Amino acid sequence: MDALRIRGTGKPLQGNVRISGAKNAALPILCATLLSDGASRLRNVPRLRDIETTAALLRFLGRDVKVDAPEVHVAAGSQVRPEAPYELVKQMRASVLVLGPLVARFGRAKVSLPGGCAIGARPIDQHLKGLEAMGCTIRLERGYVMAEGPGGGGRLKGAEVYFDLPTVTGTENLMMAAALAKGRTTLVNCAREPEVEELGRILNKMGAEVNGAGTDVIHIVGAERGELAPFDHAIIPDRIEAGTYMVAAAIIEGGDVLVEGAELRDLEALATKMRAAGVEITSEGQNVRVKRTGPLRGVNVTTAPHPGFPTDMQAQFLALMCVARGESVISETIFENRFMHVPELQRMGASVALRGNTAVVQGVQKLYGAAVMATDLRASASLIIAGIAAAGDETEVRRVYHLDRGYERIEEKLHGLGVDVERVKGAEA
The residues binding ligand EPU (CB under 6 A) are 24, 27, 93-94, 120, 122-127, 165, 167-170, 191, 195, 311-312, 334-335, 377-378, 406
CB of 300 to ligand EPU, least distance (A): 20
Identify the bridge partners of residue 139 per DSSP, sorted by sequence position: 146
Nearest distance in Å: CB 349, ligand EPU: 26
Nearer to ligand EPU, 37 or 376 (CB): 376
CB of 407 to ligand EPU, least distance (A): 10
Closer to ligand EPU at the Cβ: 309 or 368?
309
| Cα(312)–Cα(263) distance, integer angstroms | 16
Q: Which helix (DSSP H) or strand (DSSP E) does residue 58 occupy?
A: helix 49-60
Q: Report the alpha-carbon distance of residue 319 to residue 262 in Å, rounded.
A: 21
317 close to 270: Cβ distance less than 8 angstroms: yes
CA angle in degrees (0–180, nearest 5) for 230-233-237: 150
Select 174 or 271, whichever has its Cβ closest to ligand EPU.
174
- In the complex with ligand EPU, the residue whose CB is nearer, 22 or 67, is 22
Cβ proximity to ligand EPU: between 87 and 125 the closer is: 125
The minimum distance between CB 377 and ligand EPU, in angstroms, equals: 4
Backbone angles phi, psi at 140, to 5 degrees: -105, 120
Amino acid at 256: D
Give 1-27 as a DSSP string: --EEEEE---PPPEEEEE--B-HHHHH
Would you name the residues annotated as active-site residues? 117
Supply the minimum distance, in Å, between the C-beta of residue 333 and ligand EPU. Answer: 8
Backbone dihedral region for residue 67 (phi beyond 0: left; psi -120 to 50: alpha; all else: beta): beta
- Which element (helix H / strand E) includes 187? strand 184-188
Sign of CA dihedral 259, 262, 263, 267: negative
Beta carbon of residue 174, minimum distance to ligand EPU (angstroms, whole number): 10
Nearer to ligand EPU, 89 or 223 (CB): 89
Q: How far is 109 from 139, CA to CA, in rounded Å?
A: 11
User: Pick from 292, 280, 214: which is nearest to 252 by CA?
Assistant: 292
Q: CA separation (Å) from 143 to 83, 85, 114, 219, 303? A: 13, 10, 9, 32, 31
